Amino acid sequence: MAEKGVPIKEPKGKLGILLPGLGAVGSTMIAGVEMVRNGYARPIGSLTQMATIRLGKRTEDRTPMIKDFVPLANLDDIVFGGWDIFPVNVYESALNAKVLTKDDLDKVKPQLDAIKPMKAVFDKKYVKRLDGPNKKVGKNKMDLAEQLMDDMANFKKENNLDRIVIVWSGSTETYIEYDPVWDTLESFEKAMRENHDAISSSMIYAYAALKSGIPYANGAPHMTHDIPALEELAKKNNVAIAGKDFKTGQTFMKTLLAPGLKARMLGVHGWFSTNILGNRDGEVLDEPLSFKSKEVTKLSALEYIFQPKKNPELYGDLYHKVRINYYPPIGDNKEAWDNIDIFGWLGYPMQIKVDFLCRDSILAAPVALDLALFIDLAQRAGMSGIQEWLSFYFKSPIVGKGLYPEHDIFIQLMKLKNTLRHLKGEDLITHLGLEYYD
């Protein structure tokens, strides 16, 4: 089964990571990388930094670090930047977010002080519970996009960068209905010049990135580059894209548990999920239209994992309900509570209760970092368009036409690792292993 591998450009020079949104997730990611660079902490949760990959047969015992196996950008070669509607530097932003302790932040204060947000493209119409002063003004949406492209080009020049990637780590925008202007790049560009409502702020960022040939990953649930016009642009410019919505707390847990129940052919009558969270994200999602964006991505996971059409006796009547509740007392902490009504042998009922006392930004930061490094790898390996092998990181993986998204986190991980093996010409792992027995 040996393969030859794929030629990959070496990651020489510096990599810029630009973040639209320098709030809790962005500042936690940046502060963490600075702490790791300086030896104060370890990048727990990051596959690019911590994980190994098994190669060959079990008995060969070959398991290098992923970062030693594929040519990733080194943490020391990263330069951070971003846009935000609040004109405070990353140190202050991280303090406000209350994710990391002041004690930790103070260790890398000079580095964080130095990162100041560029003026953001923002329209309260798409994020109703939020507003801030540090915003661009422009004649129309195309003009705003051009300002962003200038930002990107200047950032690259000023920091003497070899490459840039962009990871959306801003707030969730409201749900927008399909509009025909999304259908082609031409109609989309026309609509931008006409300031059409169907073009949200995040789409302007994505357009600017793809137009500049910059890979783009979307960490929020709203529609961005998963519209035909922007997929067309990505393809045309040979740019890698990935999305959408970082898979962190409850959906992460759900995509563990559901494949496990299905592995054993245990039926599910009902799945009730509630979240309580007290940060800015919780406040934004307390608004019904923003929640709708989220709900769509949150509900779909079970549908795809359980395949009720193929398993109607087990999952045909599954009642799935997801709630998010803004609850200020717990701040950036988040609590995800699930009640799962399952049934086994002869239909006898059982229940599973899970309470995940998690921390939103602590879970999201390494995901954002990995996406930046892997999408840069993909671009250097000549893989353009949708990077399905990065589904592992997303609540709602975008996929090619005619395919269904894969939500099972274990299949996603196998897809990711076998993609890396494939890139390097190693045997893919099937876990057959019959050769050890007679």
| Site for a second copy, residues 341 to 360, rule: CB under 8 A | 341, 343-348, 350-359
- For a second copy, the closer of residues 114 and 428 by Cβ is 428
Q: Which stretch binds a second copy (CB under 8 A): 13-21, 186-194, 292-300, 309-317?
A: 309-317
Shortest distance in whole angstroms from residue 333 CB to a second copy? 9
Largest Cα separation within the chain, whole Å, is 74
Interface with a second copy (CB under 8 A), residue from 149, 274, 287, 300: 274
Shortest distance in whole angstroms from residue 267 CB to a second copy? 5
Interface with a second copy (CB under 8 A), residue from 63, 74, 154, 160: 63
The DSSP code sequence of 191-238 is: HHHTT-TTS-HHHHHHHHHHHTT--EEE-SSS-SS-SHHHHHHHHHHT
| Site for a second copy, residues 227 to 246, rule: CB under 8 A | 235
- For a second copy, the closer of residues 153 and 357 by Cβ is 357
Q: 216: closest CA among 366, 387, 85?
A: 387
Task: Give the span between the Cα atoms of 369 and 75, in whole angstroms.
Answer: 10
Task: Give the span between the Cα atoms of 125 and 201, in whole angstroms.
Answer: 9
Asked if 411 touches a second copy (CB under 8 A), the answer is yes
Task: Give the span between the Cα atoms of 322 and 292, in whole angstroms.
Answer: 11
- For a second copy, the closer of residues 165 and 277 by Cβ is 277
Q: Which stretch binds a second copy (CB under 8 A): 90-98, 177-185, 209-217, 402-410?
A: 402-410
Asked if 384 touches a second copy (CB under 8 A), the answer is yes
Q: C-alpha dihedral over 270, 271, 272, 277, to 10 degrees?
A: 180
The DSSP code sequence of 39-60 is: TSS--TT-HHHH-B--BS-GGG
Decide: 249 and 334 in contact? Cβ < 8 Å.
Answer: yes
Asked if 385 touches a second copy (CB under 8 A), the answer is yes
Task: Give the span between the Cα atoms of 417 and 390, in whole angstroms.
Answer: 10
Size of the site for a second copy (CB under 8 A): 109
* Eight-class DSSP state of 303: H
Position of tokens 């759900």?
254
Asked if 115 touches a second copy (CB under 8 A), the answer is no
Q: Which two tokens stand for residue 75?
A: 């943490």
| Site for a second copy, residues 245 to 264, rule: CB under 8 A | 252-253, 255-257, 259-260, 263-264
| Site for a second copy, residues 363 to 382, rule: CB under 8 A | 363, 365-366
Shortest distance in whole angstroms from residue 243 CB to a second copy? 14
* Eight-class DSSP state of 170: S
- For a second copy, the closer of residues 180 and 347 by Cβ is 347
In angstroms, how far is CA 375 from the centroid of its own chain?
A: 11
Count of CB atoms situated within 10 Å of the CB of 351: 11
Asked if 434 touches a second copy (CB under 8 A), the answer is yes
Asked if 413 touches a second copy (CB under 8 A), the answer is yes
Decide: 247 and 364 in contact? Cβ < 8 Å.
Answer: no
Asked if 269 touches a second copy (CB under 8 A), the answer is yes
Shortest distance in whole angstroms from residue 112 CB to a second copy? 14
- For a second copy, the closer of residues 35 and 142 by Cβ is 35
* Eight-class DSSP state of 405: P
Asked if 424 touches a second copy (CB under 8 A), the answer is no
What mask of x and - would describe binding to a second copy in positions 180 to 219, judged by CB under 8 A?
----------------------------------------
Shortest distance in whole angstroms from residue 119 CB to a second copy? 29
| Site for a second copy, residues 64 to 103, rule: CB under 8 A | 99-100
